[in-house]
Amino acid sequence: MKYKLDRGAHSVYALQYHLVQVVKYRRQVFENEKIVDFLKQKIREISESFDVDVLNIECNKDHFHMLFKAKPTLDMPRYINAIKTITSREIQRNFPEVKEKLWKGVFWSPSYFLATTGQVTLDVLKKYVEEQGNA
């Protein structure tokens, strides 16, 4: 099994994540390409300050998907909160028309989806682990 590995002072790791964040009440605020581009740029800026490598970001009208790599030391709740807080504030500041679609100025849903992603399938990994008992 071959991994693309990252290295720290005392660790070797391969940590990729899939984040999905939904707009509150599924309001369709990402119909304007300028807003989508602005969101992507802000997320990349925030991620850089957290030393997170954004692999891809794509938007639907009411949510976005992001794939990213991070170090094991990343404070995940703080990182996600920064994305939600800063993008909400900056989008509403730069695109005031968005406020018409929101209720009480709340931009993001309080919940999100986060999953780790692998470089191999779970079935391949299970088989690899099982085979270690026969070595």
**Residues identified as active-site:** 128
Task: List phi, psi (to 5°) of 97.
Answer: -65, -20
Distance CA 91, CA 110 (A): 17
Q: Which amino acid is at 60?
A: N
Q: How many residues does the chain have?
A: 135
DSSP string across 63-121: EEEEEEE--TT--HHHHHHHHHHHHHHHHHHH-GGGGGGSBTTB-EEEEEEEEEE-SS-
